[in-house]
Structure formats: structure tokens, C-alpha cells
Amino acid sequence: MTGPVVEADRDLGLQGHYAGVATRFGAFVIDVTVVSTSFAVGGLVVEYVVSALIGNEVDLSDAPVVSTVLLGGWWFLYCVYALSVAGRTPGMAALGLQVVHSDGSQLDVGHAVLRVVTFPLSFLLFGFGFLLILVRRDRRALHDLLGGACVVYAWDARAARLRFLARSAPVGPDP
């Protein structure tokens, strides 16, 4: 019985700590999946509506530059809106992460925009921007440093503990 309680206490202790590379990567994969899927579905709807309005068939794949710009715009809006309103994207929320100012306060719109705009720099420098997550004590990537932000564990640990306690078996002799 002491094993699960110790793990629940461990999880309570992680809240507010800097998020590691594996959890952040998992959240990124979820967000890429959500953005790609919603862009594909939205693109089909736009193609259908525009084709119906002008009378000719429209295919976004015939205009790769336009498609790429629209996808970049959709990624930007998806991230900036989610970070500025909730401090987390849906992928981050699924894995219990939140982006905050480096001082721990809530991220504002300006810093959310700066973090999202500088995100590609972490890729463009041969992944060096992400390597910082592994070597820095505060687990901040290049875009976190430039945006004045950090990613922390932020699930509702109290509610998780209460759910765990409600599920645990009563302590006592077996009948």
C-alpha cells in the first residue's frame, strides 16, 4: 500500500518543476497532430466552399506556397492563442505542462508571440536550441530564453491525489 502513496506524493512534488525533454516532445507531437489534422479538414472545407462559389474546382495542393503560408499562419494562431489564453496548447494540457514567465507569472500575449516566432530558431540551428533543454538546469530551450518563458509541470495535483485516494482499497484485514 505504501508504494502507490509514495508515487502520488512524488507526483505532487513535481508540480511547478521544470518540464523535461520527453514530456515536452510528447506535447509537441500531439500539437503537430492536432494542427495537421485540423488544417487538412479546414483545407477541405475551404476548397469545397470556394469551388462552390466560383464554379471551378480549387485544390490547395496546386498552390504549395499558399498552402505553406496558410499552414504557418494556422500554427502561429493555434500556439499564440492557446499560450496567451491558457498558458498551454492542447498537447501541453494533455501532458500536464504549462508555459509561464521565467518568474512564474502567467504568460502574456507579447511573450507568447515572441516565443512562437522564435521557435523555428531552435530547429534552424541544427537542434542546438532544443539541446539546451538537456543541459540547462531550468530546462529552457532557445525559444524559451528569447521569449522570457519556461515550461513547468502544472497538472491539478490535488485533484489527482483525491481521485487516487478515492480509488484506493480500504486498509485493514481481508475478510
Q: Summarize pLDDT for 55-102 with one digit per residue, the tens.
A: 888 888 888 898 999 999 999 999 999 999 999 999 999 999 999 988
pLDDT tens for 27-68 read 999 999 999 999 999 999 988 998 899 888 888 888 889 899
| Nearest to 122, CA basis, from 110, 104, 111, 134 | 134
Helix ranges (H only) for the chain are 2-14, 21-54, 64-85, 90-94, 109-124, 128-135, 142-147, 157-167
Q: What pLDDT was estimated at residue 160?
A: 54
